[in-house]
Structure formats: C-alpha cells, structure tokens
A and B are shown apart, each in its own frame.
Chain A
Amino acid sequence: GQQLNQSPQSMFIQEGEDVSMNCTSSSIFNTWLWYKQDPGEGPVLLIALYKAGELTSNGRLTAQFGITRKDSFLNISASIPSDVGIYFCAGYNTGNQFYFGTGTSLTVIP
C-alpha cells in the first residue's frame, strides 16, 4: 500500500546547524503537510503546501512541495534545543486519501 518514506530516520546535530529532511511517495500528492510531535503530545501542524513548487516558510522552517508532486522537503535553519522532536510529513493523494510518513527524529546537541 501507499507509504510515505521519510529520510533520514534520525538526526543528531549541533545547535546552530541547519537541518534538512525529506519525504517521498510512490504516487502523486495534492497536499503536503509537515508536523512536529513532542514527547507526550499530539502532532502540531508546522506548514501546509498546496501547489507543486510551492515554497513556504514559518519562522526558521521552510518547506517545499516537490515539482514531481511525489516529494516534499523541510529545512530548519540555525537549530536550537527546542527543535528536538519527531517530524512527520503527511499528505493527501489525488484520491483524497491521507497518509503519514515514518518520521524523522531530531536531536539537537547544545
């Protein structure tokens, strides 16, 4: 069945470094979403993307809707300790079915 594959699975970075992660699907998506989940809490929506090629920022976060519509990217600039958490991509395919990615666990070392 449909899967959203995220990479990398986990990242360990120094505070201040930039972070990049991506999400790929086997089929075309109409909407891409990026969420962050902290321990013991629900996922929080960070960025929503609706058009191929769209580039959207939310503070130090920037996400892009891939031109092929089969991938999306999330970048975090100048990471800080509170960026620690699990980042999930999600999206709706052309059949309006919603899928979650496998998650990228981010650890920021002060």
Chain B
Amino acid sequence: NAGVMQNPRHLVRRRGQEARLRCSPMKGHSHVYWYRQLPEEGLKFMVYLQKENIIDESGMPKERFSAEFPKEGPSILRIQQVVRGDSAAYFCASSRGPTYQPQHFGDGTRLSIL
C-alpha cells in the first residue's frame, strides 16, 4: 500500500471527544475516497472528494461527520462527539481521475472509542 498514507494507524478516543483522521493520496492523485469497515464486513463508502470540493457524501452520516480535502495538505475525516458505534477501521483511497480509475488504498486508521 505504499503511496496512500494514513495517520494515525490507531486512534483511541473517549466518548464525546473528537477524532481527526488524515489521508495523503498517492502522488499525482487528486481524488480521495473514505470508507468505513467493521470487523468481518466489507467496505462501506462514506465520501468522495477532489481538491477543495466534496463530490459525493451520500455515505456519510448527516451529523457529527465531516470531510475536507484542502488545496494544500492531506484530506481530513473529522468525527465530532464520538460514540462507541464509531469504532471501526477507516480507510482512505485515492485515484488519478474521476472516471473508471482504480482506487488505491491506505492501511487505514483503527478508531477505538472507550
């Protein structure tokens, strides 16, 4: 998975705190996707972003979750006032273009809520 960098790899938060997950796409990629994965399950799409734009956030919960991909710097997935149900692995992927391009994944951030 060299190329798509996610940090931190593990994040522990108490209920009510905020979680910030970062993703730097592969070099030359300007499209970023965030997914959530529960144990023993597949990946669930959350949001698709290009630089400074949210293209599709149909998979993102309406409250407490937000994502951005600024002109400079990594993409950020932000979860406010975390609850136990937010515990999961969050994966970021990037692609070169918007049309039919393979997505390449990072190694994920494992979020644990105490």
Chain A residues within CB distance 8 Å of chain B: 30-31, 33, 35, 40-45, 48, 50, 88, 90, 92, 96, 98, 100-103
Contact = CB atoms under 8 A, between A and B. Distances in A.
A98 B93 CA distance: 12
Contacts, number: 48
Contacts of B98: 96
A98 B1 contact: no
B105 A43 contact: yes
Contacts of B85: none
A98 B42 CA distance: 14
Interface residues of B, number: 20
Given A98-B45, A100-B43, A102-B42, A42 B106 contact: yes
A41 B1 contact: yes
Describe A's contact surface by its main secondary structure: strand
B42 A42 contact: no
Interface of B: 1, 4, 6, 33, 35, 42-43, 45, 91, 93, 98-100, 102-108
Contact of B1 (A31, A42, A90): A42
A42 B108 CA distance: 6
29 contacts: A30-B100, A31-B100, A33-B102, A33-B103, A41-B1, A41-B108, A42-B1, A42-B4, A42-B91, A42-B93, A42-B105, A42-B107, A42-B108, A43-B43, A43-B105, A45-B103, A45-B104, A50-B100, A88-B42, A88-B43, A92-B99, A92-B100, A98-B45, A98-B103, A100-B35, A100-B42, A100-B43, A101-B42, A103-B42
